[in-house]
Structure 1
């Protein structure tokens, strides 16, 4: 008789976005003509840049010509894309070999797949508030989870200490949902800790393109010792608008070992067993991101989202509300006014000013009393949502 994976029974109901959708639907049924200002979902609103679209079209055209047609692609990624990504890192002072770059169908997929490298007995340490998939992917595998609490007192940037337990250390910087970014000194402390404890850091760099401060690290491999303790997972979803196109990459250094086994060699074996590679067309589009013209165009789009963040930060500053994120990240993590919970603020904003954000409780217990706004929306809607927030809490009060 088939035995299902009973670890799925340890998962909590994924109620966050379901509850949000239910509340929105009920409101619209009662107010069918209402315009909602959706600042909750971390999905981009601008289209792919012209350089990428042209490259995708060229990829399609190539597939219609015998001499340029591509069937199965290399499982670990096309050389032209792996080389383009490695060259991009080289420009930032991070030396990489092209075969240390693994092309994926997106960071979310890779964050789950990479766990194949680790025994179920390994413990996952997750800094909360956190992207919920970190926890759920490990629970599905039957792995023990240790939650490291972060809060206002440390700017949602916890530091290691010898009392911690954890073999797989999740670090997301800039962070989703808080927008907090580790400094080089803070991140170096985690690298040193991982090397000392023979742990491994899974570094989620999905939002690195939003970093403006030149002193903040974009990649964990800017830190001394990271090649012996870290794997970096990145995405073109937010960097270049690929949320619906799906493309990302993983950096796994050659020579990275744990327990006498070579993790780079293991990952090559995993990919050549479990995938047939990402389509040529998508990789063609992805390579255009790393061209001079592609970089110029995506920076123009990113600046629009950064301007949205400035709009929200001005509103929060005017209201005197504590927040983090915004300057170097596409999220504003706001302390709820009046001692409200995140869900209470959600209901209040929806009913009073039709502005939608995300309750902090959806990202773990440490998120209670906080609220996330995304800056990926339409600029006009963002301006109006911010104006309504100021009117509500400054003009009307709570």
Structure 2
């Protein structure tokens, strides 16, 4: 027996464990201090009524012999896949029935999709980056190249001219930076991928936060993208499914002559038993007119949090990305501090928790991530505390 030694190449995942230890220590030393968490990437609002109603109805079905469901189709029930196709039509994108695959979340599929690709492929990821993109390829022993996302390019790097990659990861709006590509910028990536024969793995987990019509909500709004891109999306942030688990992946038939679509179907029918029926019924309720109206109320709540945060930072003269079409804000640390110095200062002096940018890559050094998923009054209070702290610096 031989183990996969590439797991030894993984860096220790210390970021959030270190944050938790520092927060616990601060709470123990100053129990009177109310700590506000703006580092959490989880939602705080409950599921909308259309979703919970569908869940209850589906549970009742499962308790009745005539309406009980056992094993379902691994690629998802048609009622949900058709709902998602209709959702894409609202973005001006037409998908074939067999191009949509239901999963338990974008994170799972972003890792599992690598089963389709040879280990010798070269991977290109932006830095800073969602760690899953890197770690899943390290586990497989692939060569990884980095594309620098920096303050100078607004954390929206263009395609590199000096290298050629086989697999490209893009996330827009981005986690952690909140930056979102416009149509021209994303079109440049599509052109690059087609020119070098690469496939783009496009993470659209935060697309529902976009309201600016100049920003695409799907890569398939860009001409030629179906020939070079696989799109991943999740209901976690769109509809609060972080604890319910449902997402979807689009593998176009136009990509590689349909081979990747057929391979993904084969992979899923072999290694995946599908998302539970009751969860898929709940997900389908999201894409009804009433479901879309209800989740928009929750999305609007988080967007307003982001607006409050962004406005406060502008008034303070702090440079940042995100906040307009994203639940994330990536702010520059004051006074040339590194991100862990700022974390400690913010925690101890203001009782506010965020996420140090360097935890997402070397280009995150000197930057700090805040999220808009908190409660409204806590968000306002946190920004008032940050403002007061900055005035003292």
TM over 0.5: yes
Aligned equivalent of 2:360: 363
Shift of 1:90: 1.3
Q: Is the 8 A contact 2:190 2:228 kept in 1?
A: yes
Q: Is the 8 A contact 1:134 1:170 kept in 2?
A: yes
Aligned equivalent of 1:103: 102
Q: Are positions 1:348 and 2:345 aligned together?
A: yes
Q: Are positions 1:282 and 2:271 aligned together?
A: no
Q: Is the 8 A contact 1:105 1:278 kept in 2?
A: yes
CA RMSD of aligned residues (A): 0.9
Structure 2 counterpart SS, 1:48: coil
- Determine which of 373, 377, 381 is the counterpart of 1:380: 377
Q: Is the 8 A contact 2:252 2:258 kept in 1?
A: no
Q: Are positions 1:301 and 2:298 aligned together?
A: yes
Task: Output the CA distance in 1 between the equivalents of 2:254 and 2:328.
Answer: 36
Task: Output the CA distance in 2 between the equivalents of 1:319 and 1:240.
Answer: 32
**1:196-235 CA-partner distances (Å, limit 9, x unpaired):** 1010000000000000101110000000000110000000
Task: Output the CA distance in 1 between the equivalents of 2:223 and 2:161.
Answer: 20
Alignment of 1:319-358 (within 5 A): 319-358=316-355
- Determine which of 309, 312, 322 is the counterpart of 1:312: 309
Structure 1 stretches of at least 4 aligned residues deviating more than 6 Å after TM superposition: none
Structure 2 counterpart SS, 1:75: coil
Structure 1 counterpart SS, 2:152: helix
Shift of 1:69: 0.7
Q: Is the 8 A contact 1:309 1:327 kept in 2?
A: yes
Task: Output the CA distance in 1 between the equivalents of 2:103 and 2:390.
Answer: 44
**1:264-295 CA-partner distances (Å, limit 9, x unpaired):** 00001000000111100000000000000000
Shift of 1:253: 0.5
Task: Output the CA distance in 1 between the equivalents of 2:365 and 2:139.
Answer: 25
Task: Output the CA distance in 2 between the equivalents of 1:330 and 1:318.
Answer: 19
Task: Output the CA distance in 1 between the equivalents of 2:204 and 2:319.
Answer: 25
Task: Output the CA distance in 1 between the equivalents of 2:90 and 2:306.
Answer: 27
Aligned equivalent of 1:224: 223
Q: Is the 8 A contact 1:37 1:354 kept in 2?
A: yes
Task: Output the CA distance in 2 between the equivalents of 1:203 and 1:243.
Answer: 20
Alignment of 1:1-398 (within 5 A): 2-257=1-256, 262-394=259-391, 397-398=392-393
Shift of 1:261: 7.5
Shift of 1:252: 0.4
Task: Output the CA distance in 1 between the equivalents of 2:352 and 2:330.
Answer: 15
Shift of 1:164: 2.0
Task: Output the CA distance in 2 between the equivalents of 1:284 and 1:349.
Answer: 43
Shift of 1:91: 2.1
**1:129-150 CA-partner distances (Å, limit 9, x unpaired):** 1101110010001111101111
- Paired residues in the alignment total 393
Structure 1 counterpart SS, 2:102: strand
Task: Output the CA distance in 2 between the equivalents of 1:282 and 1:161.
Answer: 41
Task: Output the CA distance in 1 between the equivalents of 2:75 and 2:182.
Answer: 31
Task: Output the CA distance in 1 between the equivalents of 2:64 and 2:235.
Answer: 28
Q: Is the 8 A contact 1:318 1:390 kept in 2?
A: no
TM-score by length of 1: 0.98
Task: Output the CA distance in 2 between the equivalents of 1:331 and 1:10.
Answer: 29
Structure 2 counterpart SS, 1:165: coil
Task: Output the CA distance in 2 between the equivalents of 1:267 and 1:345.
Answer: 44
TM-score by length of 2: 0.99
Task: Output the CA distance in 1 between the equivalents of 2:91 and 2:142.
Answer: 36
